[in-house]
Structure 1
Amino acid sequence: MWDFNKLIYKGESFLMLEATPFLEFFGIHTAFVRDNFEIFYFVYIVLIFLFLFGIGKRFTVLLLFISVEVVQNLAWLTLNGGDNILKFAVLYFIFIDSYSKYSIKPFKHKNEFSKQLTNLLSNLAGYSLCIHFSLVYFLSALHKINADVWFNGVATYYVLGSERFQGTPWNQLLVKNGIFVTITTYGTVLLELLFPFLVWNKRLKFICILSAASLHLGIAIFMMLYDFQILFLLLLGFFITNNEWKHVIEIVNNKYGNVKVRLLNLALKK
């Protein structure tokens, strides 16, 4: 958005920009933030990097959440569904314990009670994020069912055939294929409708996750909608437990570990 700061955030355009309730509640005038937006944006970017490296822990995430809220309020006309769940994901990260391992200076608990309380809050926040994600899918499916193009199985035809979403040279060929259009249209609705219920089943979970990942990769490739899809792909990881992640890593190491050693030895020889 950087090239459009003056138009979107500073108010130097034809858009009717309103006051930000979040700022006004704390006695900060929205106009003041707009006039000094470059300074605010710099602080916002610094907070993102501090959060990335686990510096400041939960206090940093709280400040980042406030910043995301302000940024989104300043440019609400540019938002999409991904921005909405992004804001809540940051909110959940205030409670999710991602600082015991993934920080420059890992957090160490003072006692067993502190560890158990942190673990409880982290699990609750993680489940909340998963449930929120599932609700987004389910409500999206309900809205699609009530839309004629989705109900009649032709939504993919209108979406991929649109000039706005010409992500690949094959879009026009795919929309002429009736089987492809029907399967992708009803398949999307079916996935969003069943995902919230089937993803909790151990046997079906990875099928649901892979299907959802395929959907979002397809949207990114064929429709050129990237930020929304990247966010959803990352959030799918929350449905995988720590033990399951460890198991996946072990499989990868066992399968490709020897390849790494060979490449390292080859590099050292050179």
Structure 2
Amino acid sequence: MKEFCSTDRTIYPSVFRILIGLVLLVDLISTVPSAGILFNSGLNSLLSESGLIKFLAANSSVFFSVYGLILIAFILGFGRNFTAFLVFCFHFFMMELTQPLLTWGDIILKFSLLYFAFADSFRYLSLQKTKGKYHYVSKLAVCSIVLHIFLVYLNNAYFKMTDKDWQQGIAVFYSFSQYPSFESSIWYPLISNEYLSKSINYFIILQQLSFVPFVIWKKTRYFAILLSLIIHFTMMYEFGLWKFEIIVMLHYGFLLNDKEWMRIIPAKIWANWFSLSKSS
């Protein structure tokens, strides 16, 4: 517990800034063709017909353009924490504008971006690098994101334990069987078998219950993260929920400290993109 809480996490925020910025930029670009439907109150009953959201919907082209420029600045590291805060604001507005397209990943990311606005993610891979001591506020922001991830897992585990379908062991089968290509899936032989399907069902509950202690304990940290990545890659492949799965998987990087990232990052990449930035 002490090892997990006391070690620095100054490297990954810079990586997360670029990757999550790219995810949001791709999502923005893919949403533009649907603007005619999303911002038509006659076709989208969830669209607010008053206030700021109505104004943004009426001027969607300007909103998309400004949001896109902010995301590019965020990825490049211009504007530092002010730009990061604008990304949080525009992501929030985007959620209100595109409610029919919302995923659980958007909800998770909303809070993470709020905390991330106070994190120092500009020490590396940024055109405007920060120097000097890593401030306490930034450490607190990263710790808040880590706690947020833990709460998400504990909440999901609690929900599954109290949900009737998960208790009966049929939730996994229902999740897979709702998709038309299920019978041609490589998972069909496993999921269609009652015993195996229920075993996977209860294993997922156990995995979510044990995620927090396994991540905190150094000896099982990599195993817990790798297992979660496999589960989410499987869901992304089978269900096509690319944004949700990528958002969740990108959060796992915060669970590793600087020493662990230094062992993962290849030496040439570290020398060219991190060590030089650190010494500048």
TM-score normalised over the length of structure 2: 0.78
Helix, strand or coil at the partner of 1:199: helix
Structure 2 CA distance for aligned equivalents of residues 168 and 121 of structure 1: 51
- Alignment partner of 1:95 is 2:118: yes
Query: Quick one: structure 1 residues 131 and 14, their matched pair in 2 at CA, closer, same or farther if it must change by over 3 Å?
Result: closer
Structure 2 CA distance for aligned equivalents of residues 76 and 147 of structure 1: 25
Structure 1: runs of 5+ lacking an equivalent: 110-114, 255-270
- Alignment partner of 1:6 is 2:29: no
Q: Deviations over 1:181-216 (max 9, x none)?
A: 123211111111121232111111111111111111
Query: Quick one: structure 1 residues 45 and 14, their matched pair in 2 at CA, closer, same or farther if it must change by over 3 Å?
Result: closer
Q: Which residue of 2 aligns with 1:37?
A: 60
Structure having the higher helix fraction is 2
Q: How many residues align?
A: 238
Aligned-partner residue type, residue 153 of structure 2 = Y
Q: Which residue of 2 aligns with 1:218?
A: 234
Q: Deviations over 1:27-77 (max 9, x none)?
A: xx4322111111101111111111111111011111111111111122234
- Alignment partner of 1:152 is 2:152: no
Q: Which residue of 1 aligns with 2:128?
A: 105
- 8 Å CA contact 1:167, 1:222 repeated in 2: no
- 8 Å CA contact 2:91, 2:110 repeated in 1: yes
Q: Which residue of 1 aligns with 2:102?
A: 79
**Shift in Å at residue 89 of structure 1?**
1.8
- 8 Å CA contact 1:159, 1:165 repeated in 2: no
Structure 1 CA distance for aligned equivalents of residues 61 and 40 of structure 2: 9
Identity %: 27
Query: Quick one: structure 1 residues 60 and 143, their matched pair in 2 at CA, closer, same or farther if it must change by over 3 Å?
Result: same
Helix, strand or coil at the partner of 1:204: helix
Q: Within 5 A, what are the aligned runs for 1:246-257? A: 246-249=262-265, 252-253=266-267
**Shift in Å at residue 14 of structure 1?**
4.9
Query: Quick one: structure 1 residues 40 and 76, their matched pair in 2 at CA, closer, same or farther if it must change by over 3 Å?
Result: same
**Shift in Å at residue 179 of structure 1?**
4.1
Helix, strand or coil at the partner of 1:141: helix
Q: Deviations over 1:3-39 (max 9, x none)?
A: 211211343515242257xxx4xxxx43221111111
Structure 2 CA distance for aligned equivalents of residues 106 and 168 of structure 1: 50
- 8 Å CA contact 2:123, 2:131 repeated in 1: yes
Structure 2: runs of 5+ lacking an equivalent: 1-30, 269-280
- Alignment partner of 1:131 is 2:147: yes
**Shift in Å at residue 168 of structure 1?**
6.1
- 8 Å CA contact 1:145, 1:189 repeated in 2: yes
Higher relative contact order (CA 8 A, sep 6+): 2
